[in-house]
């Protein structure tokens, strides 16, 4: 997922970005990826911690134009992380964070994959397919971990043309189906990660 569709700042020229929305409507739609080699594990981050969440957001999104959360206050980050049914699952390789998937529980049994991606150094190593598979499975059984939630009936996500070249293919391989395509303006401002441009953009 990319949030590159934020409005352009005054005086900053805007280009266009294509946004694709995809969905699954049954747990049987999920087609899991093969797990990577030893050393990779996925853990839920159960303590809402804005510092850690913002680190993941900038480390993953710095080279693919994630910008919409950069101006949030600490309290706003806390509010996002503490919303009912919100979950963040983090992939680690040999103890180092490699990427994350953030789930947003919405009304009527809908769960959005709000953010998903890998830190650039971990892309192209079969971790992304595994993390997406695992995270979507957790979207489907999310109600089991949150009292009062309706069972999940639909999981959806959007990706865009700023994401890595294999992002769409990853979603389609996991069983997502395209249901909407649109074009939106895109800010020309760069998204600052920890070290912008330190690693070539690639797919998670």
pLDDT-above-70 percentage for the chain:
83
What local confidence, expressed as pLDDT, does residue 203 receive?
A: 44
Tell me, yes or no, whether 58 lies in a domain: yes
Asked whether residue 198 is assigned to any structural domain, the reply reads: no
For residue 200, is it within any domain?
no
**Domains in the chain, number:** 1
What is the pTM assigned to this prediction? 0.86
Domain membership of residue 197 (yes or no) is no
Q: Is the pLDDT of residue 204 over 50?
A: no
Let me know if residue 194 belongs to a domain: no
Average pLDDT, whole number, for the chain? 86
Question: Within 10 A of 27 (CB to CB), how many other CB atoms are there?
Answer: 16
Tell whether 47 is covered by a domain. yes
Q: In the structure, what pLDDT confidence band is assigned to residue 185 with cuts at 50, 70 and 90? A: confident
**Residue 5: per-residue pLDDT:** 37
Q: Is residue 20 part of a domain?
A: yes
Percent of all residues in the chain with a pLDDT value above 90, rounded to a whole number:
66
Mean pLDDT of 168-173: 93
If pLDDT is split at 50, 70 and 90, which confidence band does 67 have? Answer: confident
- For 46-74, what is the mean pLDDT? 91
Q: Please give the C-alpha separations between residue 120 and each of 28, 116, 169, 172, in angstroms, as whole numbers.
A: 31, 13, 18, 21
**Considering the domain boundaries, does residue 175 fall inside one?**
yes
**pLDDT at residue 48 tops 60:** yes
Neighbours of 197 (CB within 10 A): 11
Domain ranges, residue 161:
14-28+39-187
- Alpha-carbon gap, residue 65 to 181, rounded angstroms: 19
| pLDDT at 9 (0 to 100) | 35
Which of 75-79, 105-109, 118-122, 188-192 shows the lowest per-residue confidence on average (mean pLDDT)?
188-192
pLDDT value at 6 more than 70: no
Average pLDDT over residues 62-74: 87
- Domain CATH code at residue 94: 3.40.630.30
Q: Is the pLDDT of residue 11 over 60?
A: no
pLDDT given for residue 15 in this prediction: 80
Per-residue pLDDT, 41: 96
């Amino acid at each position: 997922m990319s949030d590159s569709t934020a409005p352009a700042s005054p005086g900053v020229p805007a280009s266009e970005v294509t946004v694709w929305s995809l969905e699954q409507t049954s747990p049987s739609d999920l087609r899991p990826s093969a797990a990577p080699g030893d050393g990779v594990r996925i853990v839920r981050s159960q303590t809402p911690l804005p510092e850690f969440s913002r680190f993941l957001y900038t480390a993953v999104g710095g080279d693919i134009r994630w910008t919409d959360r950069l101006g949030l206050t600490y309290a706003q980050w806390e509010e996002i992380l503490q919303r009912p049914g919100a979950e963040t699952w983090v992939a680690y390789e040999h103890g180092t964070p490699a990427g994350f998937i953030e789930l947003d529980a919405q009304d009527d049994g809908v769960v959005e994959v709000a953010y998903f991606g890998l830190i650039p150094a971990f892309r192209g190593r079969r971790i992304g397919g595994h993390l997406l598979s695992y995270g979507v499975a957790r979207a489907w059984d999310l109600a089991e971990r949150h009292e009062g939630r309706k069972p999940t009936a639909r999981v959806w996500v959007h990706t865009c043309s700023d994401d890595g070249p294999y992002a769409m293919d990853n979603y389609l391989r996991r069983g997502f189906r395209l249901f909407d395509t649109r074009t939106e303006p895109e800010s020309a401002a760069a998204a600052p990660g920890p070290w912008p441009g330190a690693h070539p953009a690639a797919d998670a």
